[in-house]
Amino acid sequence: MNFRFSIRTALIGLTLGAGFSLVLAQAARGEDWALGVVIGAVALPAALLPCAAWTLVIRGTSALLAARATEPRTNPTDAPHPASD
């Protein structure tokens, strides 16, 4: 993955952060709509986190099994019989 950082990316992130800070301040003042936006913004990453974690677990497991399958056999009697396929 080749991430290229630019000043435009920084300005977009800064603008989104400032907007979220304004919504957070309104939520602290008791505005119901702002509280809903904050809860939604926090719930979305929390809902996606288990999916990302399981993806990492599955990829790690498959990488381990693939590395194990490519290990050279040291004992010729360990090789499967060609007719068993």
Q: Which residues of 27-66 are buried (b: 16+ CB within 10 A; e: fewer)?
A: beeeeeebbebbeeeeeeeeeeeeeeeeeeeeeeeeeeee
pLDDT, one tens digit per residue, over 22-49 is 999 999 999 999 999 999 999 999 999 9
Domains of the chain, by residue range, sit at: 7-69
pTM exceeds 0.75, yes or no: no
Please give the share of the chain, as a percent, with pLDDT higher than 70. Answer: 78
Pick from 20, 51, 23: nearest CA to 35: 23
pLDDT greater than 70 at residue 71: no
Higher-pLDDT residue of 42, 72:
42
Mean pLDDT of the chain: 86
